[in-house]
Each structure stands twice: as structure tokens, then as C-alpha cells.
Amino acid sequence: MIRPIARQWALCKDVPVVWQNGSAGGEFDWDSRTQGLLLSGFFYGYAASQLPAGWLVARAGGANLMGAGIAGSALLSLLAPVAARCGGAGLLLAVRVAQGILQGCVFPGTTQLLARWAPTMERSRLYAVIGSGINVGSVVSMPVSGLLATHWGWPSAFYCAGVLGVLWWLLWWIQIADSPEIDRRVSLTERVYIKEKIGTVTVCSKVISHPWRKILTSPPYLARIAATFCADWAFYTVQNQIPMYLEDTLGYNLQGAGFVSALPFVVMGCFTLAAGYLADLLEDMNLLHTTTVRKLYVCGGFMMLVLCLLLSTYLTDPSSIVACITFGTAFTSFVYSASSVNILDMAPLHASVLEGLSNTITNLSGILTSQITGFIVQTQSAAEWRVVFYVTSGVCLLGGAVYGLLGSGELQPWAEDGLEPPASVALVAAKAPRREDGGLDNPAASVS
């Protein structure tokens, strides 16, 4: 649930609703260009901070940086109404850019924490829980923010998000630790289990050297970036562009069918959970090799998405098109389930930096899809939108082909330096935190 909680402080989808021009009864007379700039401000800060955040997380740890980033963003959410009223659009834009910068550590921090906490055979399902939380957050936050704005005024949506963010940070600060070795609430039994199942563990060092030349020329890592970039391309197209197609071209009233707007997120959340658990099951039962599972998910997910997109170009009934696009988007869950955990397969020690670099590149897809769609669609005709579908399908096929040829689920040779083999029970017990009386947190006899 880390990502949805963190991302909702921006409330980017609700800004146009509460800041319409004076004729619509809104408080501020801001034109569509200003509103669009305010919407994008968060993402400019977010994209720019990914790589620096990954570098910092690798050295300072993900737990504290994530907590501080989200807490700071939550406090800025509380100040957003004041900024808008006192400083206008300029000051509000600065607040939103700052929120994006602060939240840049969320994904790198999440990846690093999973690298140190998640046993190898449980990584896919843990990522699936986080991924499904993204969709739950999208489904819940939008209507709730709209209700708050309608009944208590638009600032209440920001105040609610800010308060929830601060409360979340308090729970996070109390509960979280960077690794099992330094968490005193983890029993020795659990600590030994994690250390034995995690495969390889990172050496606790504040100074980490990243082999940038080898990283930037690593075919499996570049293939992972390509797969995620193409999946984001399809997701942003469906999320941001397809509603215009349904309303302007097909005359489908999305405002009068609120559940339809949330349907892709609901179905995608279900698919994400199923995909994560199935991936771990296939590996745990030794039915398929890790690399095979990753490639099957990425290539199969893209193929099903392309089939659904191409089928929708031949349909004329809006409800059928919505259903087809919804299930097509849901199949990207398989792509994300494989690509998200793939960094932990390849380079657990460098996970936060690799995630930050990858996010910096893949977030560009959101900008490109909007620009390319705007260039293609000039008259809102069905023929123009078919071209958008064809382009998206081609991008997805390219991403699947690249990953199918170059992807890997193996630890890369350039990522082995700085790793130690799984610790034995004796070593874990020797490193385990001790109580004030000198005893272990949990007696060694409890380890079977």
C-alpha cells in the first residue's frame, strides 16, 4: 500500500474539479493551461528526483527517507490551500513540484526494503500486494476527494490527505526497520528464515560503488526498462487518452457511469494479486525457472493487451469497447508483476539506484503518449483513434520482443561484488540484537 498512500497527497485527478473557472462556481479563475501546469508540476518534481533519491536510499536506507519524504509531502498538502490563496498558481505550483521531489524516494525505498526483507519465493506476491494497493488507492481517493470538495469545500480534500499522511508516517516510524538484522521485534526464528530464503544479502555498508558502465550496458537491465516503459505507455494511454475517445468520439457519458471509470483499476487490482501469487507458486514448485516466469509474464501480458486493443478497433458498441480495453489493461498486471521484481533478481545491492534510474526513464512515457495522441487526433474521428491504438499496440509488441530476447531473472555478474552468501543459523544468531540481560531476542532452541 506504500505507493497509493504516497501518491494520493498530490490529488492530481481532483484539481480540475475544485479549481474550475468562475463560471463553473470555482474559487480561482485559472484557464485550462494553468490547470494543466498545476497537474503536471508534481510529476516534473517526481521524475527529476528518482535517480538522486535512489542514490540516497542506497546509502542512508529506505525506511527513514521514505517516511521523511511522505511526511514532508503530507505537510505540504496541508499548506496547499494557503499557498493557492496567498500566492496564487505560482506558489501552488512550487508546492506541487516540492511534493513530487519528496515522494521520489517512495519506489527506490520500497525496492530496497523488499531486497532486504522479502524471501526470494515471496517477492512476486509482496509486490502484488503493493501493486494492488495502487489500484485501490486510485479507486477510493478520487470519489472520496470529490465528496469532500462538494460537501466541505475543496481545501478539505487536501487537509484530509495531509492528516492521513502524517498519521501514516507515525505508524511507519514506529513499525519499520531497514533490515531484519536491526529490527528488535523480529524473532530469531523469523530472522533466520528470511536470511536463509533471501538468497543473497547485502553487506551493511554506507559506501556503495555502482558500476555505472556495466549497468548502462547490461542487456537484461535495459530490457527491463523497455518492458516497463512500454507497459507505462499503454497504461497512460488508457488512463489519460481513452476517456476522451469514449466521450468525444463515441458519445459515452463517463460522468454518468462513475463505476466504469473505476472498473479498469478494480480489475487490474484483482489481476495483480493473482499474477503475483501464481508467479511465486510456479517458482516454489520448481515448475518453471525464474527467467522463464518473467519472460512468460511480460510477453504473454503484452500479447493479450495487444489482442484486446486491436479487437476494440473493430467494435462499435461503447460498452464492449470499455470491457475490451479494461481487460486488456488488466493484463499489464502480469508485465508489472515480472518487471517490478526483476530488479531484485538481477542486482539486489543496487536495487534502489536501478529503480530510480528506471523510473526516471519510464515516466517519460506519460509525456510522450499525450503529445503523440494530440498530434494524431485532430478531429476526434474514429479513424484517428485507431491509429492511436495501432501505435500503442506496436509499442507493446516491441517491448515484449525486447524483453523476450534479452530479459533475465538471474543475478548479474556485475552485481555480485558486495554480496555475501546466505547467512547460517549460527551467524544470524551471533549478529542478532540482544536484550539488556544479554540474552537473545528468541532462544536458539526455537530454531528448527
Q: Which of 25-29, 149-153, 285-289 has the lowest mean pLDDT?
A: 25-29
pLDDT at 110: 85
Domain stops at, among 178, 194, 221: 178
Per residue in 203-253, pLDDT tens? 444 446 888 999 999 999 999 999 999 999 998 888 777 777 777 777 766
Half-sphere exposure of 70 (CA within 13 A, CB side): 29
Q: 432 lies in a domain?
A: no
Residue 434 has pLDDT above 50, yes or no: no
pLDDT at 128: 79
| Phi, psi for 412 (deg, rounded to 5) | -80, 145
Per residue in 336-389, pLDDT tens? 888 888 998 898 888 888 988 998 888 888 778 877 888 888 888 888 888 999
Residues 27 and 173 in one domain: yes
Q: 441 lies in a domain?
A: no
pLDDT at 7: 35
Residue 215 Cα distances to 219, 224, 346, 350, 357, angstroms: 9, 12, 11, 10, 10
Residue with the larger pLDDT of the pair 23 and 181: 181
Q: Across residues 253-261, what is the average pLDDT?
A: 56
Q: Across residues 145-165, what is the average pLDDT?
A: 87
Residue with the larger pLDDT of the pair 231 and 3: 231
Per residue in 31-44, pLDDT tens? 767 776 787 788 78
Residues 239 and 294 in one domain: yes
pLDDT at 447: 35
SS (H, E, C) the chain: CHHHHHHCCCCHHHHHHHCCCHHHCCCCCCCHHHHHHHHHHHHHHHHHHHHHHHHHHHHHCHHHHHHHHHHHHHHHHHHHHHHHHHHHHHHHHHHHHHHHHHHHHHHHHHHHHHHHHCCHHHHHHHHHHHHHHHHHHHHHHHHHHHHHHHHHCCHHHHHHHHHHHHHHHHHHHHHCCCCHHHCCCCCHHHHHHHHHHCCCEECCCCCCCCCHHHHHCCHHHHHHHHHHHHHHHHHHHHHHHHHHHHHHHCCCCCCCCHHHHHHHHHHHHHHHHHHHHHHHHHHHCCCCCHHHHHHHHHHHHHHHHHHHHHHHCCCCCHHHHHHHHHHHHHCHHHHHHHHHHHHHHHCHHHHHHHHHHHHHHHCHHHHHHHHHHHHHCCCCCHHHHHHHHHHHHHHHHHHHHHHHHHCCCCCCHHHCCCEECCCCHHHHHHHCCECCCCCECCCHHHCC
Residues 250 and 382 in one domain: yes
Residues 174 and 305 in one domain: no
Residues 303 and 359 in one domain: yes
Residues 111 and 227 in one domain: no
Residues 88 and 19 in one domain: yes
Residues 171 and 224 in one domain: no
Q: 112 lies in a domain?
A: yes
Computed over its alpha carbons, how large is the radius of gyration of the chain?
A: 23
* Residues 273, 129 contacting (CB under 8 angstroms): yes
pLDDT at 30: 80
Read off the pTM: 0.76
Other beta carbons less than 10 A from residue 100's beta carbon: 24
Return the CATH number at 400.
1.20.1250.20
Residues 50 and 94 in one domain: yes
SS3 19: coil
Residue with the larger pLDDT of the pair 406 and 131: 406
Q: Across residues 122-148, what is the average pLDDT?
A: 78
Residues 25 and 150 in one domain: yes
Q: What is the mean pLDDT of the chain?
A: 78
Domain stops at, among 132, 160, 178: 178
Q: 197 lies in a domain?
A: no
Q: 257 lies in a domain?
A: yes
Q: 444 lies in a domain?
A: no
Q: Which of 15-24, 203-212, 213-222, 312-321 has the lowest mean pLDDT?
A: 15-24
Which residues form the domain of 169? 1-178
CA-wise closest residue to 157 among 98, 233, 81: 81
Q: 304 lies in a domain?
A: yes
pLDDT at 112: 83
Q: How many domains does the chain have?
A: 2
pLDDT at 94: 93
pLDDT at 37: 77
pLDDT at 430: 45
Q: What percent of the chain has pLDDT over 70?
A: 82
Residue 170 has pLDDT above 70, yes or no: yes
Residues 223 and 81 in one domain: no
Q: 393 lies in a domain?
A: yes
Residues 254 and 395 in one domain: yes
pLDDT at 428: 44
Q: Across residues 251-256, what is the average pLDDT?
A: 61
pLDDT at 439: 42
Per residue in 267-302, pLDDT tens? 887 888 888 888 888 877 877 888 999 999 999 999
Q: Across residues 158-184, what is the average pLDDT?
A: 87
> Which amino acid, residue 39?
L
